[in-house]
Amino acid sequence: MTFDLASAIATADAPEQALKHFFGYDQFRPGQRSIIEAVLNHQDVLVIMPTGGGKSLCYQLPALLKPGLSIVISPLIALMQDQVQSLEDNGIGATFLNSTLTGAEVRRRSDRILNGEIKLLYVAPERLLTEPFLYFLNEVAAEIGIATFAIDEAHCVSEWGHDFRPEYRQLKQLRQQFSTVPVLALTATATDRVRQDIQQQLALRQPLIHIASFNRSNFYYEVRPKQKQAQRELIRLVKQTPGSGIIYCLSRKKVEEITQKLQEDGIEALPYHAGLSDQVRKVNQTRFIRDDVRVMVATIAFGMGINKPDVRFVIHYDLPRNLESYYQESGRAGRDGEPASCILFFSYGDIRTIEYLIEQKLDPTTGEALVAEQQIARQQLRQVIDYAEGLDCRRTIQLRYFGEPFEGNCGNCDNCLQPRSRQDWTIEAQKFLSCVARCKERYGMGYIIDVLRGSKDKRILANQHDQLSTYGIGKDHSIDEWRSLGRSLLHQGLVDETADGYSVLKLNALSWEVLRKQRTVMLAQSHRPVATQETQSEARANAELLFDRLRKLRKEIADEQSVPPYVVFADSSLRLMAQLQPQSIEAFGEISGVGSHKLARYGPRFVETIQAFCRTRRSSGKQAEQQAD
């Protein structure tokens, strides 16, 4: 297909044509088309779309169709470089200006802009409002025109957001100085307050507001109990799940420990936390982005500015602080729209750790408890626990938190795929609580369970608790089962536990209601993780093999150019190649993600690899037939 930009602009389907020509995609994602239309009509727009929704395309594509320079304001330098690289790889004139460049380089780039070679310019907000830059912008406006200001991560303008940046506040000046240039603000923030703030702070004029659903339908959600064997389970899980992944832990120490365990087990993993030098963090991040290592073990400090679209799993090995952070952190998976899993390991021990941290929230001057902050933190913790313990669809719970209704069964979370039944555990609860009473409310859960199960522990014998009527009446259940009953009783408030570090169980009014048979106790059955192994058909195994081979080729090409592999092709494109196995350049050009530039640049090598793969398959198939004869 030859493409004449000038004549395409005049046609109604110019966006579709440009989408295939420059980006290689066949269809717009939900919302993109109407946003792009508004931008082309010089309207202000506010785009609220979750991570991976495809926000960048909303300003990149109009930039190609509008005369003049489009300016993208982005606070994250790594992201900026990455996007420019991807655009250049698609044959699009793009560049960035930030503090990492020398004066000479800045001048060279400015010249290219004034020569009209550049359609998209990325800048950091702090540079934007400097005297020399504003002067330069005026020059650009006069000579080639400014098409749009696209303000990425627009929630940074709001103090109510999770990432307020004072420099963003000054962006209003841009609006005043270049009052005819339309503004496009984009964010993944879900709260209403921040949205209102963005509109006000940036002085948007009757903007088109696009709010996408926050449902990330390509995600599989699961919560697993974090038991004694959790580390081994974690390693098994990482081995079972192909592709890149992030494991989040709460402390640096845990990050180091888990990294080491993974490495010992032959999994390529690196750590990332605030205790490492900038240099080490940078190197580790780059190695992860380039697929030199498969797994990043990190504290939450990692991930804000990274734009790796093919992260296939995010595992929270420790409890997240609140549901919003869980959503944002797990949301770093699957930006390319391909399936990804978000797994949370949940233990009651973690709750105690966080509760302890909450109690430490004190006023630094008076040393008094920050009551309001503690209350908010407790409520947020409660919501995380509700999510983890909930029997409803995990999506329903998350989206409800963001005020978005979601109907019923998503079919892609553990609770939907393996609904847990609730069982009546009233009798067991009575045994448990009466054992607490008979031990005079002076022991913790482990001890009570030992008594129930008739342990010959020295302490029990010395206390003569083997003489109690509740001694040994609980042999029919395992320790784990009793523990989960105990935790659930705590959670439902049917028994209390002291917070003095000893965790002694104490009966309360509700405990007595259970003991007096005035209250039933229901317990969700714990369940095994969903089996991920299914029998693969031969065709699928075949596609899997080719996918691996194409991945290797992609990595080779990426290394030759020192770019991350996803800049060459997205996982989704490789998957399609592996399934459809195009053996000619024409057929290869049909694959989603293959634009004209990439077709010319990479087509021959990929097609050659696919042809070679198909040849060996055919001959090995023939051999098998002959042997069968």
The one of ligand ADP, Zn ion, none whose footprint includes residue 90, by CB under 5 to 8 A per kind, is none
One-character DSSP codes across 394-421: HHHHHHHHTT----S--SSBHHHHSPPP
**Is 328 a binder of ligand ADP (CB under 6 A)?**
no
d(CA 191, CA 187): 11
CB neighbourhood size of 232 (10 A): 12
- For the chain, the maximum distance between any two Cα atoms, rounded to a whole number of angstroms, is 95
User: What is the 8-class DSSP label of residue 21?
Assistant: I
Stretch that binds Zn ion, among 91-99, 299-307, 408-416, 507-515 (CB under 5 A): 408-416
Query: Which member of 413, 451, 485, 568 binds Zn ion (CB under 5 A)?
Result: 413
d(CA 499, CA 90): 59
Q: Shortest gap between Cβ of 265 and ligand ADP (angstroms)?
A: 31
- Residue 196 vs 217, nearer CB to Zn ion: 217
d(CA 72, CA 56): 10
Structure tokens at 480: 């784990």
Contact assessment for residue 39 and residue 182, using Cβ atoms and an 8 Å cutoff: yes
The one of Zn ion, ligand ADP, none whose footprint includes residue 51, by CB under 5 to 8 A per kind, is ligand ADP
The one of ligand ADP, Zn ion, none whose footprint includes residue 54, by CB under 5 to 8 A per kind, is ligand ADP
Amino acid at 6: A
Torsion of CA 132, 134, 139, 145, to 10 degrees: 150
**Is 332 a binder of ligand ADP (CB under 6 A)?**
no
The one of ligand ADP, Zn ion, none whose footprint includes residue 451, by CB under 5 to 8 A per kind, is none
Q: Shortest gap between Cβ of 218 and Zn ion (angstroms)?
A: 13
Dihedral sign, Cα of residue 151, residue 218, residue 296, residue 315: positive
- 101, with CB counted inside 10 A (0-12, 13-18, 19+), is middle
Which residues between 416 and 435 bind Zn ion (CB under 5 A)? 416
Structure tokens at 478: 């395992």
Which residues between 122 and 141 bind Zn ion (CB under 5 A)? none
Contact assessment for residue 87 and residue 60, using Cβ atoms and an 8 Å cutoff: yes
Amino acid at 61: L
Query: Which member of 57, 198, 223, 393 binds Zn ion (CB under 5 A)?
Result: 393
Q: Shortest gap between Cβ of 26 and ligand ADP (angstroms)?
A: 7
* DSSP strand pairing (340-346 vs 94-97): unpaired
Stretch that binds Zn ion, among 31-39, 372-380, 394-402, 499-507 (CB under 5 A): 394-402
* DSSP strand pairing (522-524 vs 422-424): antiparallel
Query: Which member of 197, 222, 336, 497 binds ligand ADP (CB under 6 A)?
Result: 336
The one of Zn ion, ligand ADP, none whose footprint includes residue 328, by CB under 5 to 8 A per kind, is none
The one of Zn ion, ligand ADP, none whose footprint includes residue 161, by CB under 5 to 8 A per kind, is none
**Is 331 a binder of ligand ADP (CB under 6 A)?**
no
- Residue 54 vs 603, nearer CB to ligand ADP: 54
- Residue 90 vs 299, nearer CB to ligand ADP: 90
Q: Convert residues 238-277 into a mask of x (bound to Zn ion by CB under 5 A) and - (unbound).
A: ----------------------------------------
Q: Convert residues 276-315 into a mask of x (bound to ligand ADP by CB under 6 A) and - (unbound).
A: ---------------------------------x------
Q: Convert residues 32-61 into a mask of x (bound to ligand ADP by CB under 6 A) and - (unbound).
A: x----------------x-xxxxxxx----
Torsion of CA 106, 111, 117, 122, to 10 degrees: 30
Which residues between 56 and 115 bind ligand ADP (CB under 6 A)? 56-57
The one of Zn ion, ligand ADP, none whose footprint includes residue 222, by CB under 5 to 8 A per kind, is none
d(CA 556, CA 254): 34
Structure tokens at 600: 């010319």
Question: Which residues are CB-contacts of 628 (< 8 A; sequence separation ≥ 6)?
Answer: none
d(CA 247, CA 345): 11
Q: Shortest gap between Cβ of 152 and ligand ADP (angstroms)?
A: 8
DSSP helix/strand/coil, 211: strand
The one of Zn ion, ligand ADP, none whose footprint includes residue 309, by CB under 5 to 8 A per kind, is ligand ADP
CA distances 140 to 69, 71, 102, 285, Å, are: 8, 11, 21, 35
The one of Zn ion, ligand ADP, none whose footprint includes residue 313, by CB under 5 to 8 A per kind, is none
**Is 410 a binder of Zn ion (CB under 5 A)?**
yes
Helix (H) or strand (E) holding 193: helix 192-201
The one of Zn ion, ligand ADP, none whose footprint includes residue 413, by CB under 5 to 8 A per kind, is Zn ion
The residue ranges that bind ligand ADP (CB under 6 A) are 25, 27-29, 32, 49, 51-57, 309, 335-337, 570
The residue ranges that bind Zn ion (CB under 5 A) are 393, 395, 410, 413, 416
